[in-house]
Amino acid sequence: MAIVIDPASQSSDDDARSNTSSELTELDPGDFPQYFRENLGRLFHSHGQSPYPLPVDAAEQHRLNRQHALLQSLIRGLFVGPVNQALSGINGRKNAVDLCTGTGKWVMDMALMFPHVKFHGLDIVPIQTRHPLPNVYFVIHDVAAGLDYTSGTVDLVHARDISYAVRNYHQLLCEVMRVLRPGGLFVAGEWAPYPSMGNIYNIRDYAPRTWEYFDLLRMVLSNREISTVPTMIRPWMEQLGFVNIEVREYRLPVNGRHATSFTRRTNANLQVYVESLQPMMADAGYGSRARSLANLMFGEISRVDGIFFTYYAIHGARRARA
Ligand SMILES: C[S@@+](CC[C@H](N)C(=O)[O-])C[C@H]1O[C@@H](n2cnc3c(N)ncnc32)[C@H](O)[C@@H]1O
């Protein structure tokens, strides 16, 4: 059963919904506790199947919203790819779906920009605004259980920073392909698993603790069957028959010795991220190792110039009918 957070604006001409739309149920605020559980003083999702390891509490929500703003500066907008083209058309007849929407900030910003498009934001926890725009539907839904949309009805599927949320990205891509209209667009964004220093400087030599921290993180994630997949998305899309695939790499710099307001914001968000990872590290038995590596990492980051995180922006379309 799909659960809509605020169905006040639900209208009957929503041609993207599958037959299960008759099962939509309004989420009562009293039901909220059932979506959350507490661990080590942080609030997590309580979904039985999702591997998602980060908290979903206020600190994390602020981090996601700041990351949204940072990414907007980095990619110069809300998306990379021919989204205007995919969403142009007749009033009220376009549908866009945001997988693992988080706080729903991207959906709300997009809904303002494209008021004729219906935006559906899917997540397993109700952390989105209770007052969505009239063209926004936030739905509690596990994306690993398939997408509740009729085949060939969705114009745009967006998936940003979801690799910790899905064990089988390839399977999800199959579902994306199924629900997209011919000519419909898939837009994804994912972080590389390690920070980098470009070709000349090897981060393992110049910032070894930073590399070690992220290596420990990769190992702990992989024990939870989570893998970060940015470089696999393109080959999977090719294999599934997506066309016009493009991948762009963006570098998000961290401080070094010469901080700017931008790199300060990146560093601040990195601190919150590392703090949010700490319960998972502790559960895995690496709490104190992660903590001491993180302290050494932040020391390195403030001394070593040129460290950056790579963000992959990927898009591709379902082949249009001839
Ligand atoms: C890192 S956040 C990204 C949020 C958003 N896409 C953004 O860019 O700000 C990942 C989100 O995935 C959600 N999530 C985890 N497992 C999920 C699942 N199986 N189905 C739907 N959402 C899921 C989490 O609750 C969290 O809000």
User: Mind giving me the DSSP string for 224-274?
Assistant: TT----HHHHHHHHHHHT-EEEEEEEEEEE--SSS--HHHHHHHHHHHHHH
Same domain, 66 and 117: yes
For residue 11, being part of any structural domain is answered with yes
CA of 200 to the centre of ligand 1 (A): 35
* pLDDT band at residue 4 using 50, 70 and 90 as cut-offs: low
Same domain, 98 and 206: no
CA of 100 to the centre of ligand 1 (A): 3
CATH number for 171: 3.40.50.150
Calpha distance 67→59 (Å, rounded)? 12
Instruction: Check pLDDT > 70 for residue 216.
Output: yes
For residue 322, being part of any structural domain is answered with no
Give the least confident one: 31-40, 45-54, 272-281.
31-40
For residue 112, being part of any structural domain is answered with yes
Calpha distance 281→214 (Å, rounded)? 12
Protein residue closest via CA to atom 8 of ligand 1 = 160
CA of 58 to the centre of ligand 1 (A): 15
Beta carbons of 308 and 255 less than 8 angstroms apart? no
Same domain, 210 and 95: no
For residue 57, being part of any structural domain is answered with yes
> How much is the pLDDT for 26?
56
Same domain, 163 and 202: no
> How much is the pLDDT for 33?
78
| Cα 153 from chain centre | 22
- Its domain, for residue 275, covers 194-225+255-306
Same domain, 177 and 313: yes
- 3-state class of 53 per DSSP? coil
Instruction: Check pLDDT > 70 for residue 39.
Output: yes
- 3-state class of 287 per DSSP? helix
Domains of the chain: total: 2
> How much is the pLDDT for 20?
36
Tell me which DSSP letter residue 116 carries.
Answer: T
| Six token digits for residue 176 | 């994306």
Q: How does pLDDT run across 69-109, given as a tens digit for each residue?
A: 999 999 999 999 999 999 997 655 899 999 999 999 999 99
